[in-house]
């Protein structure tokens, strides 16, 4: 059984429970302590997918539509469907089986996912969290079956384990309940400063009483970590399935991740929604040829980064476009094609969009930097010179 964790608080974009009912806690935004000294970083970070990867369910955080005609998910079983409803006290999902005269309703309590691609929703039950059966796919604007659920079945029973929450929030505590371990109503949603910089209460307290002190006492700066420890910060959530050595939420930045999570036996690095992206990067020639390359070489987690041409500019730190063997053919499209050619989007084996008539694949970026000749040929054929 998992022990009670020592939640990582001192968050910039954290949330605090007000009220004492763990089955359906009322959540209010907490003061953003880091903003006083780090206003610009906080402002841009709150717009990132990391910051928004979980949130209390409300009209602002839920992307799905509840308008009539757009709030029903039909299934492959006749007479079985789901309705999404907005009521005075919140948002709900209802599964209906007309043939059996059965229906079940649960409230949407938490949102998981920034909404850039889609969202999944959770509900509280007896101090535990469960996945709701209907998710929302933002890129198409449709309600879909949630991952792990079978189309045509009314099932609300998929339990959310602490390891899932560890990557979609800053902290969740566990406590002993009458029927076993349950979640405490003391948690912080969204990935926040504390996830990468460690607990910051002492830092905030010290800096408040020593406003001229610029050394950054009682806080961790990942930029000063060794390369392996920088990678471990990202690998906590971007290294695929791992087996716990210690309780969830106990990892502290700067410590060896292997002491807390060990790789799944026989697991190979694969590109996927829960794939080992750090392992894929390690496999790359670019990584192996460099002493310093890490995730932060290309990614600035403090701000949104979605422009592939801008991201490809990082490649110019080591490569020159003029030396590319097909520079004359590619011409001005070089940076625009760089990432799609050398880090192509790959079909997910773990996640599919389930509909009554088909299972549609989802694609995710492959972080093995390499030469993919078939991908390159396809891109050159389909993306014409402007």
Reported as a single tens digit per residue, the pLDDT across 97-129 is 999 999 999 999 999 999 988 999 999 999 999
Q: What is the phi/psi pair of residue 162, to 5°? A: -55, -35
Which range, of 248-262, 300-314, 323-337, averages the lowest pLDDT? 323-337
Would strands 110-112 and 142-145 be described as parallel, antiparallel, or unpaired?
Answer: unpaired
Judged against a pLDDT cut of 60, whether residue 236 lies above it is answered with yes
pLDDT tens digits for 248-295?
A: 999 999 999 999 998 766 655 555 656 788 999 999 999 999 999 999
Q: Which residues pair with 236 in a beta bridge?
A: none
- Of residues 310 and 174, more confidently modeled: 310
H helices present in the chain, as ranges: 39-45, 162-168, 193-197, 201-209, 227-238, 277-283, 285-288, 308-312, 327-330, 334-342, 373-382
| Domains of the chain, residue spans | 15-218, 242-382
pLDDT tens digits for 127-154?
A: 999 999 999 988 888 899 998 898 999 9
Q: 124, 24 in Cβ contact below 8 A? A: yes
356 pLDDT band (50/70/90 cuts)?
Answer: low
H helices present in 22-97, as ranges: 39-45
Burial of 192 (0-12, 13-18, 19+ CB in 10 A): buried
Give the 3-state secondary structure of residue 234.
helix
Name the token pair of 126: 């007896």
pTM equals 0.85
**What count of Cα atoms within 13 Å lies in the side-chain half-sphere of residue 181?**
11
1 pLDDT band (50/70/90 cuts)?
Answer: very low
> What pLDDT score does 9 carry?
26
> What pLDDT score does 254 carry?
96
Which range, of 104-113, 187-196, 209-218, 276-285, averages the lowest pLDDT? 209-218
Strand ranges in 67-216 using DSSP code E only, listed in sequence order: 72-74, 80-87, 90-97, 102-107, 110-112, 118-125, 128-131, 134-137, 142-145, 158-159, 169-177, 180-189
H helices present in 169-317, as ranges: 193-197, 201-209, 227-238, 277-283, 285-288, 308-312
Residue-by-residue DSSP string for 267-292? PPP--STTS-HHHHHHHSHHHHT-SS
Would strands 158-159 and 128-131 be described as parallel, antiparallel, or unpaired?
Answer: antiparallel
For residue 240, what are the contacts with CB-CB under 8 A and spacing of at least 6? 263, 264, 267, 269, 270, 272, 274, 275, 276, 279
Q: Report the C-alpha gap between 310 and 99 in whole angstroms.
A: 55
Name the token pair of 277: 């992206």
Quick one: DSSP state of residue 361?
E
């Amino acid at each position: 059984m998992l022990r009670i964790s020592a939640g990582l608080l001192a968050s910039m974009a954290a949330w605090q429970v007000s009220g004492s009912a763990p089955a359906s806690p009322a959540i209010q935004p907490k003061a953003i302590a880091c903003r006083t000294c780090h206003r610009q970083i906080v402002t841009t970070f709150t717009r990132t997918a990391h910051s928004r990867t979980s949130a209390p369910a409300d009209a602002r955080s839920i992307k799905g539509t509840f308008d009539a005609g757009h709030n029903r998910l039909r299934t492959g079983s006749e007479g079985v469907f789901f309705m999404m409803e907005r009521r005075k006290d919140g948002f709900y999902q209802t599964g209906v089986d007309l043939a059996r005269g059965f229906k079940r309703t649960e409230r949407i309590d938490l949102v998981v996912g920034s909404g850039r691609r889609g969202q999944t929703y959770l509900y509280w039950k007896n101090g535990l969290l469960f996945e709701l059966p209907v998710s929302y796919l933002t890129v198409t604007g449709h309600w879909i079956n949630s991952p792990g659920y079978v189309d045509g079945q009314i099932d609300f029973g998929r339990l959310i384990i602490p390891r899932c929450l560890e990557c979609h929030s800053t902290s969740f505590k566990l406590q002993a309940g009458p029927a076993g371990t349950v979640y405490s109503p003391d948690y912080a949603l969204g990935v926040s400063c504390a996830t990468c910089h460690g607990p910051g209460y002492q830092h905030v307290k010290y800096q408040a009483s020593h406003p001229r002190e610029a050394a950054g006492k009682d806080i961790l700066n990942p930029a000063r970590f060794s390369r392996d420890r920088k990678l471990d910060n990202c690998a906590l959530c971007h290294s695929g399935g791992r087996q716990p050595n210690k309780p969830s939420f106990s990892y502290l930045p700067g410590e060896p991740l292997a002491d807390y999570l060990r790789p799944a036996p026989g697991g190979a690095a694969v590109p996927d929604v829960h794939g080992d992206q750090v392992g894929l990067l390690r496999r790359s020639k670019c990584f192996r040829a460099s002493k310093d390359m890490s995730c932060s070489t290309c990614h600035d987690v403090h701000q949104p980064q979605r422009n592939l041409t801008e991201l490809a500019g990082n490649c110019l730190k080591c490569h020159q476009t003029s030396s590319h063997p097909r520079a004359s053919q590619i011409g001005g499209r070089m940076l625009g094609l760089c990432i799609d050619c050398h880090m192509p989007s790959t079909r997910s084996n773990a996640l599919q969009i389930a509909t009554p008539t088909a299972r549609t694949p989802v694609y995710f970026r492959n972080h093995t930097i390499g030469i993919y000749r078939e991908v390159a040929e396809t891109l050159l054929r389909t993306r014409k010179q402007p």
